[in-house]
Structure 1
Amino acid sequence: MPYRRLPNTDQARIRALKAVVVKGDICNVYDLAVSLKALTDARNFLTKFEAAQAYYADCFERQARAGRKHQANVKTARLYISHFIQVLNLAVIRSEVRIAHKEYYGLDTSNNNVPDLSTEPALAEWGRKIVDGENKRISQGGIPIYNPTIAKVRVHYDIFMDSYEKQKNLQFLTARSLDTLASMRAEADELILHIWNQVEKKFEEVTPNEKRLDLCRDYGIIYYYRTGEKRKE
């Protein structure tokens, strides 16, 4: 005996609701297997649910599209900041820069390691420290670091920070739109269940069974066959 199962994706929920709405558009009101209230509820909810799903998809696409460009900015900024720190450490080793001046950059004076720049928050933090530290050292008469210069580092750091903030905003919009969509799913499932129950009640005495199932399928009900079962043609 085949069994029904409620939709488990947003697209499937939309298809289930659309099937009822379309049926309501083409059928005589007296022939409908669902109440007018259920049909009206389905039509009104479908409009809102489709809009929420489309908005989430748009937010996700914009985030993904911007994310690809952002990752290129991350890679470049990380390269320049890391390279600058390495050149600074070499200058310290050559005694061209006083070791105590590494404190201007927030760098450990006991070693010449490059800080962990693997995360974007760390990159944002260290980029700011490096720019501020170099400007402070130069303002006190220090010789600027070259190849790369702090101006070059600053350009790529600013580009990274701009896309970093934009990406965070896009992620926020995507998360918020997903929360809105998720909050509607319970209502969608409840509405679909109510409609399907009405439809099956309407056709419960129809025989043979396959004819009854086909009538129910016209309203969007999905039936699944268990292993070994075969649908009659």
Structure 2
Amino acid sequence: MPYRRLPNTDQARMKAIEMALEKGKRTAYSELAFSQLTLDKIQTLYPNLSNCVRQLQATKQVQFDRANEYGNIFKKAKLYLSHFVQVLNFAIQREEMKPAVREFYGLRPNAFDVPPLNLEKDVLAWGERIIQGEQKRCMQGGSAIYSPSIALVKVHYENFKDAFHHQKILQNNTDRASMKMQDVREQADTMIQQLWNEIEARFEGQPDEVRREKAAQYGVVYVYRQSELKRMEAEKLQINLNFN
């Protein structure tokens, strides 16, 4: 026997309420399978549910659309910071600078590794240190590093920093929309369960097939278990064999 399955997606929730609202419009109150109070509640709930779904979809889409551009800005900032440190290391290896200058940038003087730049927080932290370090070293009489220059590194770093903060704003917008959507989902789930309980109760006592068919016209969803589907398919196949 099939069982009732409550909606588990936002679109399914909206469809369940829409079908009930449509029945409410086209059916006389005396023949309606659920109460006027329930009809009033779903009429109030539906606009809020619909608005929350659209808002969440919109915030996710904006964040998704921005993600590719943000990723490219992030990669460019990492690239310029990494290349700057490598050029610094080459100058030290050529003995054009002393190893101690690495301390201006927060780097170990006797190590020639590039600092970790895989995470956003690493790029933010090391970008600040490297830019300030180059400025301090040059103010004390050091020759500026070129290819890339610190000015060019700073341009890409600032672009990334701005993009990072903008992406955080977009993420916060999505998080707020998600939290609001979760609250409305809970309200919708409670309302749909009550609605479907009333509908099924209205057709109680009628044969199972008739009861499910009438309830389904109001949006109640019934599904067969996998074992039941296999049994029905086997019975259908047997009937076809007997017929042939």
Counterparts of 1:174 and 1:140 in 2: how far apart (Å)? 47
The C-alpha deviation readout for 1:64-83, integer Å capped at 9, x for no partner, is: 11111000001111111000
1-structure distance, mates of 2:127, 2:22: 57
Residue of structure 1 equivalent to 2:224: 225
Shift of 1:211: 2.5
Give a deviation string over 1:184-216, Cα, whole Å, max 9, x none: 222211111100010001111334x32321210
Give 1:111 shift: 0.4
Q: Does 1:188 align with 2:188?
A: yes
Q: 1:56 aligns to what?
A: 56
Runs of 4+ that moved beyond 3 A: none
- Cα distance, 1:174 vs structure 2: 0.7
Matches within 5 A, 1:32-47: 32-47=32-47
Report the counterpart of residue 135 of structure 1 in structure 2.
135
TM-score (norm: length of structure 2): 0.90
Kindly indicate whether residue 220 of structure 2 is the aligned counterpart of residue 214 of structure 1: no
Q: 1:139-191 deviations in whole A, cap 9, x for unaligned?
A: 11110001001111111111111111101111111111111111222221111
Deviations 1:70-121 (A, max 9, x none): 0000111111100000001111122222322211111111200001100011
- Amino acid of the structure 2 residue aligned with 1:212: R
- Within 5 A, what are the aligned runs for 1:11-22? 11-22=11-22
CA offset at residue 228 of structure 1?
2.5
Distance of 2:125 and 2:41 partners within structure 1: 51
- Report 1:166-185 matches (<5 A): 166-185=166-185
Count of matched residue pairs = 230
Equivalent residue of 1:39, what SS?
Answer: helix
Q: Distance in 2 between matches of 1:11 and 1:156?
A: 42
Aligned counterparts, 1:21-100, within 5 A = 21-100=21-100
Amino acid at match of 1:191: M
Distance (whole Å) between structure 2 residues aligned to residue 9 and residue 147 of structure 1: 53
Name structure 1 gaps, 5 residues minimum.
Answer: none
How far apart, in 1, do the equivalents of 2:90 and 2:3 lie? 72
Q: State the match for 2:237 in structure 1.
A: none
**Deviation, structure 1 residue 38:** 0.4
Q: Distance in 2 between matches of 1:228 and 1:201?
A: 25
SS of equivalent residue, structure 2 residue 177: helix
Q: Deviations over 1:9-30 (max 9, x none)?
A: 1111111111111111121222
Q: Look up the match of 1:8.
A: 8
Structure 2 partner of 1:201 = 201
State the partner residue of 2:162. Answer: 162
Aligned identity (percent) is: 38
The answer to whether the Cα contact below 8 Å between 2:99 and 2:110 also exists between their aligned partners in 1 is no
Which whole-Å CA distance do the structure 2 matches of 1:139 and 1:218 have between them?
79
